[in-house]
Structures are given as structure tokens and as C-alpha cells.
Chains A and B, each alone.
Chain A
Amino acid sequence: MLGRFAPGVCTQVTMVVNQQQSRNMATLKAISMRLKSVKNIQKITQSMKMVSAAKYTRAERELRAARPYGEGAVQFYDKAEVAAPEDDPKQLYIAMTSDRGLCGAVHTGVSKVIRNRLSEPGAENIKVICVGDKSRAILQRLYGKHIISVANEIGRLPPTFMDAAKLANAIMTSGYDFASGKIIYNKFKSVVSYSQADLPLFSQKAIESAPKLAIYDSLDSDVLQSYMEFSLASMLFYALKEGACSEQSSRMTAMDNASKNAGEMIEKLTLTFNRTRQAVITRELIEIISGAAALE
């Protein structure tokens, strides 16, 4: 009875062993492949961190120069107490983001501010201009009909005044007759922190009806028009600089975290890899030894 069954069991056992062995070999191979790819990812994130660190130092230096500029541009609106006209609800929001991702929540932060505003009542009078592809990607699905134009090619190179001037020109010639608005951007605080802030936008009519405008001397509409256009460009320039700096610093942190996570993963994978390899070797040894013992 036993003799009759024994060969069958034996083949079954060897089959199982074979299967397990091949599975082990396969996992070994799979782990080593995985390990290699994670190592590659870590290399990439590390070098991205280096690149954004270099870009960040430059952006930060340039931002320091742009700060008084931006503050100076807003001063007039502050001091002349320009307010949004109540009878004209048309508003324009400008989302200052960039084309590049992998930088934490800088783009979602800006888009969220606008999304929250658009989900409130009275949103039908609000139009949005997206600067950078990222804000468009986020806002397009739900609020596509609010977007009037999109600017891209932002974020590859440090922003210049030319970019801001082009943007300002596009806003002026967009054909949308807004009464007031906001530029939503990321304000840089330190390497680890930034927050969403806004700069005011006004139409010429709103400025002309400002309560304290009368004290300003020798104003005609031509001067006001040129002044407004230039200050729009200055504010956009400042917002671009702030955004670029926040983005680079945030990318630096994001990439640093990614490298750290990849390191952790590599550690765990190496451990499993070595364990599996050891198991395979041990089992092969056992097989050889037991085979030799059976021959004696």
C-alpha cells in the first residue's frame, strides 16, 4: 500500500520544491529589479533636489530685489484707498502657478483659493486667467467655463519683466471688462513655508472713483492708463518672482522627502533581497548535502 503510493508522493514533493525554488529565484530577480528601479528613482530625486536648490538660491536672491518693487506697486492702491465698485460685480482672478509639477502643494494651494471662491454664490461674474498649465489642469474640469485664457511656458526659466509685460498685455487685451480682481500667488516666507496671498486689481473706473484720488495732482486719464498698465506689469512680475521662489523651495523639500522615502524603501528591499538569497543558498546546500548523504 505504502510502496504503491510512495513514488507518487515523492514526485509531488519534488514538484513542490521545484516550484518553490523557481518562485524564490523569481522573487529574487523581481526584488533585484525593483531595487534597481528604486535606486534609480532616488538618484533622480536627489539630482532634482540639487537642481532646485541651485535654482532656489537664485530665485531667492532675485526675490529679495523684487520685494520693494512689488510693495511699491501696491502702495498707491493702498494709500489712495481704491476699492472695488459695488455696482459692478465683474471680477478677474489670476492664478499664478507654473507648468512644472513635483513641488508639493504650491499649485493646488493657489487653485484651491480660486476653487473655493468659484464655489461660492455670485461666481458667475468671475473669470479666471491661468498662468501656468498646472492651475488649468486643476480648474479646467469643474470650472472650465470661467477660464478665459491660459499662459504657459512658465517655470522653466526664471521669470523676467518681459514675461510680466506680455502677461499684462494679454490681460489688457483679453476683452474682459473687469471691475476688480485679484492676483492669487504663493508668498514665500522661508524654505519650509509659503502661503497663498493676493494682490488687488482694479479697473480704471474703480481708480477714478477712489475717495482719495482727488488729492493727487495733475492726473489725466492717459497718465492713469499708462500708470495702471505699468503697475499691473510690476505686480505680475512680483507675483511671478514670489511664485517661482516658493515653487523651487517647495520642490526642494518635496524632492528631499522623496529621496528619504526611496532610501527607506531601498533599505527594506535590500534586507528582503539578502534574506531571500540566503534562503535560496541554504536550501540548495541542504539539497546537495542530503543528495550526497543518500548516495553513501
Chain B
Amino acid sequence: MALALRSMLRSVARKIQVRGYADAPKEGEMAFTFAAGNKVFYDKQVVKQIDVPSFSGAFGILPKHVPTLAVLRPGVVTVTENDGKQSKIFVSSGTITVNDDSSVQVLAEEAHPLENLDRSAAQEALSKAQSEFNSASNEQAKAEAAIAVEVAEEIVKAVSA
């Protein structure tokens, strides 16, 4: 009787111990890494949902998303944390990786929280990029200016929204 009780206690203790690793992502949770060249926003943190803009259309990632690769387009990444807090971060370009162990990596070239962006500065950048686009002499300069225009447009759109 005592032996059975002890073994039961032990198994309970083990269960509690297992539960003790609260920070490490468990089965069915997604470890989210969001880093840019300038800053790390999330490092293997468990979050509820991530909405990302990609070239094949914007999509949301929930735990146990099917593994995929995608390329970020300029836009706003929305991260919903476990406590429901949402943070919106603007990204210029980059990659999204969803692995089969439910870990998600979003790597951006440049990323900034939306509240750090200034509308008038964005507008200015947009007009500058547009004039550069119009005065571009060769194909490559034109393509580069087109990208600048696209990013600036998205920033303006994101800030005004």
C-alpha cells in the first residue's frame, strides 16, 4: 500500500517536474524567432499567432501550420502573443520558414515597430523614391527604385492605417 502510494507520488512529482519547463516550447506550440539585421524581436519565444505578408499573399501562422517557405514582402507582421497582446512590426523584405517541428523563423532585412515610423518622413521617402524611379537611367537602377517605391508606399499605408 505504502509502496504503491510512494510510486504514485513519484510519478506525480515527475509530472510536475516535466511541467516545470514552462519556457521551453512544448509539443504543439510554436517557437517563434523574429530577427532583423538591426534587432532581435523574438528569440524562440512561444506565441499564439503570426500574420505575415508574403509574395504569395498574406497568411496567418498558427501552431502546427504545415511546413512551408515563403518570401516576405514589404508590409506589417502582426504577432499575437500568448497573453493576447498584439505587436505590429514593419518589415522591408526577408524570409519566412515554418518547420515541421512547428518552429517558425521570420528573418527580415530591416524591421521596425510600427509606432517608430513617422508618416511625414515616409511620405518624403516615397516622393524621393518616385523621382528616382522616374529619373533612373538603366534597368537595374529602375528596378532598385521600384523596390524603394514599393517599400515606401507600404510604410505610408501601414502608418496611415
Q: How far is the CB of B56 from chain A (nearest CB, A)?
A: 7
- Known interface pairs A73-B107, A230-B95; A219-B38 also in contact (CB < 8 Å): no
Chain B residues whose CB sits within 8 angstroms of the CB of A217 once the complex forms: 66-68
Within 8 Å of chain B (Cβ to Cβ): is A50? no
A224 within 8 A of B: yes
Total contacts A to B, CB within 8 angstroms?
84
Residue pair A230, B93 in contact (C-beta under 8 Å): yes
Residues of chain A with a CB closer than 8 A to B97's CB: 72, 75-76
Chain B residues with Cβ under 8 A from A215's Cβ? 66-67, 100
Contacts of A68 in B (CB 8 A): 33, 35, 40, 43-44
B81-95 interface code vs A (CB 8 A; 1 in, 0 out): 000000000000111
Known: A216-B69, A219-B68. A161 touches B99 (CB 8 A): no
Which chain B residue has the least Cβ–Cβ distance from A212?
A: B100
Alpha-carbon distance A219/B71, docked complex (angstroms): 11
B44 partner residues in chain A, CB cutoff 8 A: 68
Q: Does B39 contact A (CB under 8 A)?
A: yes
What are the residues of chain B within 8 A of A218 when measuring CB–CB? Answer: 56, 68, 70
CA distance A196 to B97 in the complex (A): 27
Number of interface residues of B (CB under 8 A): 29
What residues of B have a CB within 8 angstroms of the CB of A75 in the complex? Answer: 33, 97, 99, 103, 105
B residues in contact with A79, CB < 8 Å? 99-101, 103
A/B interface sample: 7 pairs, CB < 8 A: A68-B35, A69-B37, A161-B37, A161-B109, A165-B109, A215-B67, A216-B67
Contact with B along A176-217 (1 / 0, CB 8 A): 000000000000000000000000000000000000100111
Nearest A residue to B35, CB-CB: A69
Say whether A286 faces chain B, with CB atoms less than 8 Å apart: no
Q: Tell yes or no: A223 within 8 A of B by CB.
A: yes
Complex Cα spacing A76 to B69, Å: 9
Closest-CB distance, A294 to chain B (whole angstroms): 85
Q: Are A230 and B94 in touch, CB under 8 angstroms? A: yes
In the complex, chain A residues whose CB is within 8 Å of the CB of B94 = 230
- Tell me the A28-58 residues at the B interface (CB within 8 Å): none
- In the complex, A218→B66 CA distance in Å? 10
B99's closest neighbor in chain A, by CB?
A79
Residue of B nearest to A160 (CB): B37
Q: How far is the CA of A237 from the CA of B66 in the complex (A)?
A: 29
Residue B132 CB within 8 A of the other chain: no
A227 in contact with B103 (CB, 8 Å)? no
Contact A69/B40 with A76-B105, A161-B109, A218-B56 known, Cβ cut-off 8 Å: yes
The interface residues of chain A lying within 8 Å CB-to-CB of B105 are 72-73, 75-76
Which B residues lie within 8 Å of A161 (CB)? 37, 109-110
Q: Write out the residue numbers on chain A whose beta carbons fall within 8 Å of the beta carbon of B147.
A: none
- Chain A neighbourhood of B43, CB < 8 A: 68
- B36 beta carbon closer than 8 Å to chain A: yes
A38 nearest CB across to chain B (Å): 44
Query: Contacts A79-B100, A212-B100: A227 and B95 contacting too (C-beta < 8 A)?
Result: yes
Asked whether B55 is an interface residue with its Cβ less than 8 Å from the other chain, the reply is yes
Q: In the docked arrangement, what's the CA distance between A131 and B44, Å?
A: 31
